[in-house]
Structure 1
Amino acid sequence: MTRTQTHLADAGLIALAAVDAALNHLTGPVTVGVAILAVAALLFRRRWPMPVFLLTLPALALVGSGIATLVALYAVAVRYSNRYLLTGGGLLAAIGYLFPGLDYQFPRSDMVLTVIYATMTAAAPIFFGRLVHAQRELALRLEDIRQAREHERELDAQAILAKERNQLAREMHDVVSHQVSLIAVQAGALGVSTTDTAVKTAADNIRTLSVDTLDELRHMVNLLRASGSQATELTPQPTLSDLDRLVSGSGIETHLTGSAPQDVDTAAQRTIYRTIQEALTNVRKHAPGSTATVDIAYDDTDLTVTVTNTRPGRPTLQLPSARHGLIGLQERAALLGGTIMTTPTADGGFRLRLRLPRTGQRR
């Protein structure tokens, strides 16, 4: 709904509540005052729904103006999920209908029908408000699912690309480097065995070019095997200095504590960064509304990174996952002699812990 449509809807509801109040018996300044208060309070129902609901109750009980109360009770049901609060609000609205000052539509002797009418009238805005709240939650979850599926597609594409890069790198190493090495060896043998200066010079040049070609080939193989970003394979790899930017841009309330030692090598820094990045991505996918804590600690032998999130603040759905992210993290950690552990926490959250040996402790 656009802003203009929202304003028009608000104006229509307030006008309807005003007409409802005017059609009831306003016999004195007190009844006029409570009716005006109930209608005017609706202007603030989106910001303070519960106080606005309470302000509409006197008009319901003394004047019989029920529209303002129903609108305010709907706003409370949209905002809050606490069943005790909603039940209490419904009881107050029903009691307001049963207040002795109200002119009943049913005979006073038929109290059963009157109570049923009051209860159903009070329950209707609560159920409708919860329905709208569930619809909004569903829209948010569908967006999360869409983003999760897009992320999975990107991971699958990256996995396929990495497999193709590794295969190409193996082919280049096995075929091209073997042939160029033979050229270099034979050129060297020719330079040693010949006495012709021109042939010796040519053989040395061939050998030098072969060695340079092998160096370039090794460089290309390393680029093919390296996992780069989607935009470019030659962008600088992230380090620990990029953690603050990663945390601030994660879209999650995240607290970063602790620090790493000064002697952390580049490979370990990349592994730590990618581990935190994947952990925060999983928190956003599988624990919406939760907060996260990233703690970095170390001792004489190990460096530990722990990412812990609280229980979800919003309802969660089982999202599709090929678990490529965690598998990739385990492979990165294993290359450095480290481990990845994932465990649920006692309060319904989740913990991911990366443990890496310090540089001097690796084998």
Structure 2
Amino acid sequence: MTARGARWGRIPDPVVDAVAVAVAVVDVLLSLEDASRVAQALAALACAALAVRRRFPLPVFLLTLPASLMLDIVFAPFAALFTLAERSRDRRPLIVCAIMFALASAVPWPLDDLSAHDRAWTLVYFFYTLATAASPVLLGQLVQARRDLARRLVEIEEAREHERLLHSQAVLARERAQLAREMHDVVSHQVSLIAVQAGALQVAATDPEFKAGARTIRSLSVDTLDELRHMVTLLRASGGRATELTPQPTLADLHKLVTTSGIRAELTGELPPEVNTTAQRTAYRTVQEALTNVRKHAPGASATVRLWRADDGDTFGITVTNTPPTRPSLPLPGSQQGLVGLRERAELLGGTFESGPTAVGGYEVNLRIPARTD
């Protein structure tokens, strides 16, 4: 948004409405010569109705038509038509309203018998007024498109930032896992050998000082090995505070994942407490991927995350359902492998993963895992 657009956006709506009503009143006052009381009342009603045109754009426009028929006014119907075009996504009513305004402006009042010459000029004036009425319609549609574009640009930037954050967290998780493997396979192994050799020297040594030195080396090696094992555990679990993006999430993190997903989402139900760590990670990743897809491919939709357990107790699962999008989806960056990875995770646990559109235009993913996966 430009600096000028930002300044206009900071003007309060009541101020804009008051200015619109004032300009409409001036326009009416210039056309009140020899006007009847009925025409004056209709003109006053049209001007006053502009104050609520944002909430009731179509009724306000219809209220301006009688005044347009009886008086030569332009601003009030144009303002109402602009507001209607700015808020309507169906162009057919806009065409009908533009034609109605052109008729109301072109048809003479009172409706007397017209000569052939007058009828011809009325027809010419009708098409001239219809072409003029296209201006507020096109301007309103342009403002609506600009607003939608700005909102979509924000959504794209948020999605890209989310993707970058996910990628950085994935890279960090891989680096932590690699470092943990190196420490476990190489460093811990070498320290273990030092502890064993020091123990052997302690047993075989006859010199008390040599034996004490070997005992010290063995003690330090054992302590170092414990510290290394503790560090390896921390590296494998998480590199920082627990968030929805940590590499080892659990069911306890689902609530925060849903509430911070950036969409209107609700979490219902619960899973059995004996679910193992691998199954908890699979359940978490399923919800995470489903909510990310809703955010990317169904703008404006809401989602429901339902945790459930079968009546026989042999299986449990997660169902994520979203409503139809309220705006057209955008081509956002992605690997297109998220659902494939979830299906592979489910198959490794002996479960199933299904996804597809719903009957009402939304989307649903369903994860089913056996209760015993060990």
2:163 to 152, 155, 161: 152
1:216 to 222, 227, 249: 227
1:350 to 363, 369, 374: 363
The one-letter amino acid of 2:26's match is V
Pairing 1:113–2:121 present: no
Determine the C-alpha separation between the residues in 2 that align with 1:146 and 1:275: 24
* Structure 2 match to 1:66: 74
Determine the C-alpha separation between the residues in 2 that align with 1:19 and 1:256: 56
Give the CA deviation at 1:121.
2.9
Pairing 1:165–2:165 present: no
- CA 1:263/1:162 → structure 2, altered by over 3 Å: closer, same or farther? closer
Determine the C-alpha separation between the residues in 1 that align with 2:14 and 2:22: 12
Q: What is the CA deviation profile of residues 258-317 of structure 1, one whole-angstrom value per residue up to 9, with x for unaligned ones?
A: 322233345544543443234223312221111212121122232211212222211222
Pairing 1:21–2:28 present: yes
Determine the C-alpha separation between the residues in 2 that align with 1:191 and 1:172: 26
Bigger mean CA deviation after superposition, 9-18 or 263-272: 263-272
DSSP 3-state at the match of 2:225: helix
1:187-206 map, 5 Å: 187-194=198-205, 203-206=214-217
Q: What is the CA deviation profile of residues 180-207 of structure 1, one whole-angstrom value per residue up to 9, with x for unaligned ones?
A: 1211222233344446666556545544
Q: Is the 8 Å Cα contact of residues 60 and 96 (structure 1) preserved in structure 2? A: yes
Determine the C-alpha separation between the residues in 2 that align with 1:286 and 1:52: 36
Q: What is the CA deviation profile of residues 38-74 of structure 1, one whole-angstrom value per residue up to 9, with x for unaligned ones?
A: 1111111112212211221221122232321111111
Q: Is the 8 Å Cα contact of residues 64 and 102 (structure 1) preserved in structure 2? A: no
- CA 1:336/1:209 → structure 2, altered by over 3 Å: closer, same or farther? farther
* Structure 2 match to 1:311: 324
Identity rate, percent? 53
- CA 1:246/1:188 → structure 2, altered by over 3 Å: closer, same or farther? same
- CA 1:186/1:323 → structure 2, altered by over 3 Å: closer, same or farther? farther
DSSP 3-state at the match of 2:223: helix
Pairing 1:33–2:41 present: yes
- CA 1:201/1:341 → structure 2, altered by over 3 Å: closer, same or farther? farther
1:1-363 map, 5 Å: 1-4=8-11, 9-25=16-32, 27-101=35-109, 107-194=118-205, 203-228=214-239, 239-265=250-276, 268-299=279-310, 300-322=313-335, 340-358=353-371, 361-363=372-374
Bigger mean CA deviation after superposition, 274-283 or 146-155: 274-283
Q: Is the 8 Å Cα contact of residues 107 and 122 (structure 2) preserved in structure 1? A: no
Bigger mean CA deviation after superposition, 341-350 or 284-293: 341-350
Give the CA deviation at 1:81.
0.8
The answer for unaligned runs of 5 or more in structure 2 is 1-7
Q: What is the CA deviation profile of residues 225-246 of structure 1, one whole-angstrom value per residue up to 9, with x for unaligned ones?
A: 335468999x997654554444
Bigger mean CA deviation after superposition, 109-118 or 313-322: 109-118
Give the CA deviation at 1:218.
2.3
Q: Is the 8 Å Cα contact of residues 78 and 136 (structure 2) preserved in structure 1? A: yes
Determine the C-alpha separation between the residues in 2 that align with 1:255 and 1:98: 55
Give the CA deviation at 1:134.
0.8
- CA 1:236/1:287 → structure 2, altered by over 3 Å: closer, same or farther? closer
Give the CA deviation at 1:145.
0.9
DSSP 3-state at the match of 2:11: helix
- CA 1:211/1:324 → structure 2, altered by over 3 Å: closer, same or farther? farther
The answer for unaligned runs of 5 or more in structure 1 is none
- CA 1:10/1:113 → structure 2, altered by over 3 Å: closer, same or farther? same
DSSP 3-state at the match of 1:4: coil
Bigger mean CA deviation after superposition, 154-163 or 1-10: 1-10
Q: What is the CA deviation profile of residues 317-349 of structure 1, one whole-angstrom value per residue up to 9, with x for unaligned ones?
A: 201124586677567657756555443444443
- CA 1:42/1:314 → structure 2, altered by over 3 Å: closer, same or farther? same
Determine the C-alpha separation between the residues in 1 that align with 2:123 and 2:103: 14
Give the CA deviation at 1:362.
1.2
Give the CA deviation at 1:12.
3.6
TM-score w.r.t. the length of structure 2 is 0.82
Determine the C-alpha separation between the residues in 2 that align with 1:298 and 1:17: 64
DSSP 3-state at the match of 1:314: coil
The one-letter amino acid of 1:71's match is A
Q: Is the 8 Å Cα contact of residues 106 and 122 (structure 2) preserved in structure 1? A: no
Determine the C-alpha separation between the residues in 2 that align with 1:333 and 1:200: 56
- Alignment RMSD: 3.4
The one-letter amino acid of 1:65's match is I
